[in-house]
A = this chain, B = another copy of it.
Amino acid sequence: MVKTYSKNQLERYPVYLKVLREMREEGERFSASSSIARRLGYSEEQVKKDLAAVSPTLGTPGRGRDISSIIEDIETFLGYREMTSAVIVGVGRLGSAILDYPGFADMGLDIVAGFDSDPAKIGTNINGREIYDVSRLSEIMPGLKAHICIIAVPSAYAQSVADMAVKAGATGIWNFAPTHLSLKKGVIVENVNLASSLAVLSHRIKTNLKED
């Protein structure tokens, strides 16, 4: 009887959070599933189910849910209220964009160090995070107590970086390289695949045009 959450469902929670915070900014105190659904283009039933699945705080029939409570419940569910350490490998343009983005801290993700192979970058500091030689990954990572490795290196190096990271204790890989990684069971890989995202966009546009 353990609750399970599909990938799609998990992806919706940060979206709810965003909208609920907006509603709170606008001065609302309570929100009905129907109003959230309308804003997001979701069905009302889906919103009800999704929120009930993570919120022990019950809603009030006739009035809706207390916005601050759901925000808190979603934040707790998503792990935003405790910090997890991560390292990033590859601090090129994309990697430094990630390091520079302040939002991850609010999501409970603390990127504590960076690694790169470029001598010009090694020893520097990006946003207070030291950049080390990637060859020292397995030496340094365990001491940082980081179990998430963000991979932002070119495709060709991604698999070997992932292998090193797993040896150094990574249980989760956030892969920004446009390539598939094979890792032993038990290691979670989440891919940010722009080619896939673009495929969806292009196909939808094409299909949409044909309909007219």
Is A84 an interface position by the 8 A CB rule?
yes
Is A13 an interface position by the 8 A CB rule?
yes
Cβ-neighbour of A180 out of B10, B39, B93, B205 (below 8 A): B39
CB<8 Å pairs between A and B, sample of 13: A10-B199, A11-B193, A13-B196, A14-B198, A15-B180, A79-B203, A92-B97, A93-B100, A107-B198, A172-B205, A186-B208, A188-B208, A190-B197
Contact pattern, A 4-23, Cβ under 8 Å of B = 1, otherwise 0: 01010011111101110000
Known A-B contacts A5-B203, A171-B205, A180-B40; the reply to A196 vs B147 at CB < 8 A is: no
Inside 8 A of A40's CB, which chain B residues have their CB?
Answer: 180
Inside 8 A of A194's CB, which chain B residues have their CB?
Answer: 192
Cα distance A92–B7 in the bound complex, in angstroms = 30
Smallest Cβ distance from A105 to chain B, in angstroms?
A: 12
Q: How many chain copies?
A: 2
Quick check: A200 and B208 within 8 Å, CB to CB? Answer: no
Cβ-neighbour of A182 out of B15, B39, B174 (below 8 A): B39
Closest to A108 in B: B202
Cα distance A97–B199 in the bound complex, in angstroms = 19
Cα distance A92–B195 in the bound complex, in angstroms = 21
Inside 8 A of A148's CB, which chain B residues have their CB?
Answer: 201, 205
| Chain A residues close to B by CB (< 8 Å) | 5, 7, 10-15, 17-19, 39-41, 78-79, 84, 92-94, 96-97, 100, 103-104, 107-109, 147-148, 171-172, 174, 178-180, 182, 186, 188, 190, 192-206, 208-209
Quick check: B171 and A188 within 8 Å, CB to CB? Answer: no
Cα distance A199–B96 in the bound complex, in angstroms = 21
Given A92-B97, A109-B198, 17 more contacts at CB 8 Å?
A7-B200, A11-B197, A15-B180, A18-B179, A18-B195, A39-B180, A78-B202, A79-B206, A84-B202, A94-B97, A97-B97, A148-B205, A174-B197, A188-B204, A190-B197, A192-B192, A192-B194
Smallest Cβ distance from A39 to chain B, in angstroms?
A: 7
